[in-house]
Amino acid sequence: MAERAFVFGVDLDGTCADFYGGLRPIAAEWLGVALESLTETVSWGLPEWGIDRSPGGYERLHRFAVTQKELFRVLKPMPGAPVALRRLSVDGIRIRIITHRLFIKYFHKIAVQQTIEWLDSHDIPYWDLCFMQDKAAVGADLYIEDSPANVRQLRVDGHSTIVFSNSTNLDLPGPRANSWNEVVDLVLAEVGRWKAAHKDRGELSGE
């Protein structure tokens, strides 16, 4: 029987992709305000930008950003994310992308297409691409997330989860990474522990 690979569950927006940096100029256009008026230090839901008080709220902004501005295709990657994921993949780690980008109805095809094009254009390796809200349902040995709600739920369910730091999650306890170099170190350390545990149970052969 083939040995099972270590599975790393990877969030996209705010973790691999600079979601807030990419959305900010689009939000300024949509709101009709100067870019400088929208702070870069935000909390979850973007109340600092007044999105909740705008017509249609966040859902309307999100639809505009994806369908009219191709948000998911033009986002910049977080510094170091593509090369870090390539390194982990070469080390035999199975990259499982898990994202909740399909939370708004009727433009799933566009969101999926833009996501695949973005991953390919930045040469980000992955074995699996999962679009779902319940990220624990697809399973992984280790997750990385920026969403406070997702981090809390994954940990409540007993899943090891790295917090990728941004202004929305600074109150969460570690383990946390402030850069993708730190992500690599944390993942490799967890892989080492995982291999030792599985070898002790006879599930991995000696190297």
Nearest to 48 by CA among 84, 23, 81, 85: 23
| DSSP designation for 164 | E
Written as six digits, the tokens of 16 are 């691999």
Does 123 participate in catalysis according to the annotation? no
Q: How far apart are the C-alpha atoms of 32 and 62, rounded to whole Å?
A: 15
- Other Cβ atoms less than 10 A from the Cβ of 200: the count is 9
Q: How far apart are the C-alpha atoms of 172 and 186, rounded to whole Å?
A: 17
Secondary structure (DSSP) of 129-157 = EEE-S-GGGG--SEEEE--HHHHHHHHHT
Does 13 participate in catalysis according to the annotation? yes
β-sheet bridge partners, residue 177: 164
Exactly one of 13, 18, 141, 146 is catalytic; name it.
13
Is 17 within 8 Å of 121 (Cβ atoms)? no
Nearest to 99 by CA among 118, 80, 123: 118
Which residues does the annotation mark as catalytic?
11, 13
